[in-house]
Chains A and B, each alone.
Chain A
Amino acid sequence: MDFLLSLLEFAFGRQEQVLEALAQHAGYVVSVLVTAGVFAIVTGIVTRRNQLARELALSIASVFLTIPSLALFVIFIPLVGLGFAPSFIALFLYSLLPILRNTITGLDGIDPGVLESAKGMGLSPLQVLLRVELPLAWPVILAGIRVSSMLIVGIAAIATLVAGGGLGDFIKSGLARLPLPNSLEAIWLGTILCLLLALVIDLILQAARLATISKGIR
């Protein structure tokens, strides 16, 4: 209980710092989800008709997830330097697989009869894609985006090791000062805020789910 109080005191004593780290961390998540989301969905759409291309894209995306986070964060440093860039690239590569896999699963799961009737109604292939296929696959795609977001929130804590900021800053500074006063607080604050941020993002995505899923399939 005492620790909880001193944790709160620690957090509220440096609101500015906390908000900045939170903003950086959330900035990674949002920018990565948007760019990787677009990239993965487009890749899923482009490759869906060709089994080899589809499976190859999935295998490559899953290899990225196999590469340990520290390695992926630092491997681009010789090319792009420290800070935001290497962290962004690593998180981007990590978030591809869940979105890509769900895009493919979602598009695959559409009843061929529905596509036939859309075609029969005179919709062009592009119209079928935009007005029938994507809306029907969207709930599955969104589930993939959600998995990616959880993943990125946790991994983005590593960004601090390549001077990329974020909530990992608290963990790093706490570790460096251990066992001085406030070091434990910093470590726990960084870790707990990651979980809270994930919770908030999860809620936002659930709201987005309700708002964006077309009425017919709710």
Chain B
Amino acid sequence: MSIDLKTIKHISKLSRISVDEKKAEKLAGDLNSIFDFIEKLNELKTDNVEPLTSVAETTLKLRSDEVKSKNLRDQVIKNSPKENEDYFVVPKVIE
């Protein structure tokens, strides 16, 4: 299989990572060599195999629905690159 530049552009859009032509070509080369290597999995028949989603063979524990940490607003906002009083600030979305 081969990943072309159009596919790279599509993935970069889904990934929210901008790529220019030069970077797209490099990525196409890298991804193709990685996927050649991944294709090995097709040698295996897995029709009747259950997928493994977690190695931890436990069910999720329930806990009581209590608030344990309060008043974290300042901590939550502390690392934001741009804020205004209690809010995160992003470029204008609505015209």
Q: Say whether A associates with B.
A: no
